Amino acid sequence: ALKIPSGLYRSFVERNDMSERISRLADLRNFFNRTWLFGESLSNLTEVRIAETCQPYYLATGEEIDMAGQDFVFMVRDGRLDRYVDGQVVEYCGIGEPLNESEVLFSHPGDGRLVAAMRSELLLVPGAMVRDIPVARWKLLELYQRRQRNFSSLRQEAGAQA
């Protein structure tokens, strides 16, 4: 690593109008580093690429999101989404939770409907980028399998009660 005096670095950043970009990337990297999906084993370059390419997406309370056909991992940055299956809330998706794993991994829509329980901000990370990160791809597969088991169990319980 190259060592340069902090004053020289600050001067370079200000002269090139990079302060806002650096702050934004640092904030996003900090968020992603605290998530289950991206919180380990990523190189600095990969962290920067994720932060640079993600897109914000905002939902109002009660707004539903349709992820079908969208090749993005949706990360809840703020707020909460509730997943409904057969009219019942079956999952609460809070800050740091990844969504849309079935679409990213298998080009198949996920189960249920996702509705914002409050004003929410999501970050859309391109699916191709996530698939190129082996540990993240593996974690998405684990998440997909866990959700499939949970939703299958819920459907069986509902069928048994009917």
Nearest Cα to 120, choosing from 84, 79, 77, 161? Answer: 79
Distance CA 35, CA 154 (A): 27
pLDDT tens string 63-114: 999 999 999 999 999 999 999 988 889 999 999 999 999 999 999 998 899 9
pLDDT at 13: 67
Distance CA 65, CA 60 (A): 10
- Residue 84, classified by CB atoms within 10 Å of its CB into exposed (0-12), middle (13-18) or buried (19+), is middle
pLDDT tens string 30-52: 999 999 999 987 888 999 999 99
DSSP class of residue 72 equals: E
pLDDT at 144: 96
Amino acid at 39: G
Q: Pairing state of beta strands 81-85 and 88-93?
A: antiparallel
Q: Is the pLDDT of residue 161 over 90?
A: no
* Confidence at 21, pLDDT banded by 50, 70, 90: confident
Instruction: Tokens for 55, please give them.
Output: 């897109």
* Confidence at 127, pLDDT banded by 50, 70, 90: very high
The sign of the CA dihedral 18, 27, 70, 139 is positive
* Confidence at 156, pLDDT banded by 50, 70, 90: confident
